[in-house]
Amino acid sequence: MNMENPSTRSELAALLQQIDAEARAAHAAMNEFRAGESRHAFIVARMERTQLLATQLIQAAGSEAIPAIISTIDRALSLRPPSASES
């Protein structure tokens, strides 16, 4: 995949945004005070979706995408906003 192509960069950015949203949703569910299997199932589903999106991103962009994926998930789980260089 040609990383210089604007539409490719846009597709990759969209995948990173989806990874961020899934990881944040899982993090938020972990921090809620509700208990039970439904919460667990929700968290597992979000993390499985995160894994699927990360795999798609690596298939599209290659191993160069791994640091961006790790950074996105780390930021989402710590609930830090993206830095100027990451957005």
Look at residue 49 and tell me whether its pLDDT is greater than 90.
Answer: yes
Residue 3 reports pLDDT greater than 90: no
d(CA 37, CA 39): 5
Q: How confident is the model at residue 30 (pLDDT cuts 50, 70, 90)?
A: confident
Higher pLDDT, 68 or 3: 68
Going from N- to C-terminal start, the domains of the chain cover 6-78
Q: Model confidence at 2, in pLDDT bands (50, 70, 90)?
A: low
Q: Report the distance separating Cα 84 and Cα 48, nearest Å.
A: 28
- Residue 22 and residue 47 in contact, taking contact as beta carbons nearer than 8 Å: yes
Q: Is the dihedral of CA 13, 64, 55, 6 positive or negative?
A: positive
pLDDT tens-digit map of 50-86: 999 999 999 999 999 999 999 999 988 887 655 655 5
- Model pTM? 0.70
